Structure 1
């Protein structure tokens, strides 16, 4: 597995030992590294897997009810261990009161790594994931390893890496674990409406939901990012963060699926720039078989490192791109859809794609081949692609 973060142990130890005497930027220049590379490690597979196995264990009861309370406690303990500040007026937990149709108390868990630049510290980047799942139903455990222990593991590893960096980020970085995502995004909706700080101070909202498998169980190295249609200047950051890694970045618009499908929704509605990471639905989605041993941990590790890289860059950038009401849908999006549909079509038997679905795929591929040849997609063509993607994805998985 490719690991761009590995350095000779003696070299790494020397960086740490002289850090107090020599500015980090100077160390980085001498070693031929960026400041970020000299300062922090990347998310590690062993830690990610440990968190997934713990969060998806039977003891946490599918992270609903008493199990959700225990999960919130574990996340609080990790924030405390990392010496992160409580986000909610001296508390790590924001209680989410019941409101129809949600009849139980929820608990959002949040912490902040305070920015080092006084002129930017009031601005923040949010890294988030929901920790709730379906619980135990009729005596059957729904562990929720991919949905969404994988995302929480990423968030906690990103927190560990940034909190342990020699040089702290210039902006504040908020780490959020949302409850009740499975109940109509109620936890994130409540947070957005009752934030402990002005939500306008969020310059980038990052969330991940299901990043440990592949779309349909067949789209191998693909992972998808939505949100750049409103902040296209973030695309080069994603491309650079993914460069050289054994994963394949797919840029998509959030309108390809039902809008506001995950916790980015309340922030998208408020026109806050967001990035939503996912590998898509798969045959184990919302099933008792979503267990820790079935995840692709090398892939989860690489995606977590991409998110960590983008977060670090955003936290230190002099300025961040603003929300643009006019959506930008690049040719890369159409090529991503083409390659995904080709993969699905090649696995018709495994996915049990019927004749009607196959017809939709074939028509879409003809359109996409024309788009690829011209290097441009028209609004009418994109509208057809949205319809085709929804028909295929919503009826196949």
Structure 2
């Protein structure tokens, strides 16, 4: 062997060793692990993960077990991972279980010795066996609602981000608090309980990042990001990480039908990540085999890039996006149309993502994909003006609902 050959082989050996070293130290998001988590959480064994029910308890145990493996600091009650609270379903629609139950949030902490903390959250509960209301199935009772996208996908995101940061050799300049909430489907009960009984100083929470239904990135590769108006810093961060693999559609509001709302109402900047609704929403067909696992991996990599920018900024300024009267209006509504509204808005109406069976909208002829632009004289531009409009009606009343359907405009009579 010549000296040149020996030098070349030595150089190749050193190069391969360095590549091995850097690859070993680099953390990646694994589609295999995403699939593992969702398959377990959305299995029939979990019985739909009802809050305070057997399946929900099994899901909480699974999440806590993953936090323990990652050596996250327990931040629940009695130095454990669980924060306990009571729930009772207040729904009056259908055969609903209204028993008092105890359930729990699952909380793990990564202490990087920083002043600021980012909350990374998702709800792990779903609709159980159809006895807690909320199902869009015609006859839901006794059917397992596995909730693979809603919201085993978000929980898998929390677990993968927890793994990424707990194993990362370079610690972020923020602490990370990972929370999987229960009681979300009953009205954001777990996140409200946490923000009313925080285990860290709320003034030191930099922001809350919420993942709810991130498992079905569509063919157009659009991720819906809500809450961009809750801090002036968001605009400078979110656009720069778009690529040919992911586009972002932005909504300014900090109020929406998920757990980030509880943090927004405490004046904390929020972002909500959502890949869109679909025909399996709140139905037994939301199963693990329909998840876009590569798509979720892309979403999580996007969130990691966003966190890298947040971590080096001063404490994020909070800006309100809607007055709290919108939230109270949504609570006091006496009627419902029975639709799943889109939370992404261009200001030109409210898109209907799904229509519930045997509800006023379905009976009136409203279709998935319709865009509601007015209810009687009340103009509808987004989810907030839609909720405000419904606040004017009592049960038994009727309304003329103006809808944009493709290139035509139709008016339907809705009987509440």
Same-fold call, TM cutoff 0.5: yes
Does the C-alpha gap of structure 1 residues 250 and 336 become closer, same or farther in structure 2, counting only changes over 3 Å? farther
Among 119, 132, 153, the alignment partner of 1:126 is 119
CA contact (8 A) 1:55 1:71 kept: yes
- Tell me which residue corresponds to 2:305: 309
CA contact (8 A) 1:219 1:340 kept: no
Unaligned runs of 5+ in 1: 1-7, 18-38, 328-332, 345-351, 365-382
Kindly report which structure 2 residues correspond to 1:135-174, keeping only aligned pairs within 5 A, or say none: 135-137=128-130, 138-174=141-177
Question: SS in structure 1 opposite 2:79?
Answer: coil
Question: 1:151-194: per-residue Cα shift (whole Å, max 9, x none)?
Answer: 00111100000000001112110000001101111111111111
- Tell me which residue corresponds to 2:68: 80
- Tell me which residue corresponds to 1:269: 265
Distance, in Å, in 2 between the alignment partners of 1:142 and 1:264 is 23
Q: CA deviation at 1:311?
A: 2.3
Question: SS in structure 2 opposite 1:173?
Answer: strand
Question: SS in structure 1 opposite 2:317?
Answer: coil
- Tell me which residue corresponds to 2:20: 13
CA contact (8 A) 1:128 1:177 kept: yes
Q: Larger strand proportion, structure 1 or 2?
A: 2
Q: CA deviation at 1:147?
A: 0.2
- Tell me which residue corresponds to 2:394: none
Does the C-alpha gap of structure 1 residues 308 and 280 become closer, same or farther in structure 2, counting only changes over 3 Å? same
Matched, 1:107 2:104: yes
Aligned pair count reads 325
RMSD: 3.7
CA contact (8 A) 1:94 1:108 kept: yes
Kindly report which structure 2 residues correspond to 1:1-397, keeping only aligned pairs within 5 A, or say none: 11-15=18-22, 40-64=26-50, 65-88=53-76, 90-98=79-87, 101=90, 103-116=100-113, 121-137=114-130, 138-213=141-216, 220-241=220-241, 243-254=242-253, 259-314=255-310, 316-325=311-320, 361=371, 385-386=381-382, 390=386
- Tell me which residue corresponds to 2:392: none
Q: CA deviation at 1:105?
A: 0.7
Which has the larger displacement, 143-152 or 58-67?
58-67
Question: SS in structure 2 opposite 1:126?
Answer: strand
- The structure having more radius of gyration, on CA atoms, is 2
Distance, in Å, in 2 between the alignment partners of 1:136 and 1:222 is 32
Does the C-alpha gap of structure 1 residues 175 and 104 become closer, same or farther in structure 2, counting only changes over 3 Å? same
Q: CA deviation at 1:136?
A: 1.4
CA contact (8 A) 2:249 2:344 kept: no
Distance, in Å, in 2 between the alignment partners of 1:388 and 1:79 is 37
Q: Larger helix proportion, structure 1 or 2?
A: 1
CA contact (8 A) 2:348 2:382 kept: no
CA contact (8 A) 1:225 1:251 kept: yes
Q: CA deviation at 1:293?
A: 0.5
Distance, in Å, in 1 between the alignment partners of 2:301 and 2:261 is 24
Q: CA deviation at 1:360?
A: 7.7
Does the C-alpha gap of structure 1 residues 362 and 9 become closer, same or farther in structure 2, counting only changes over 3 Å? farther
CA contact (8 A) 2:89 2:186 kept: no
Distance, in Å, in 1 between the alignment partners of 2:305 and 2:66 is 21
CA contact (8 A) 1:224 1:278 kept: yes
CA contact (8 A) 2:350 2:381 kept: no
**TM-score of the superposition, structure 2-length normalised?**
0.69
Question: 1:68-97: per-residue Cα shift (whole Å, max 9, x none)?
Answer: 111111111111111111112521111112
CA contact (8 A) 1:40 1:164 kept: no
Distance, in Å, in 2 between the alignment partners of 1:236 and 1:245 is 19
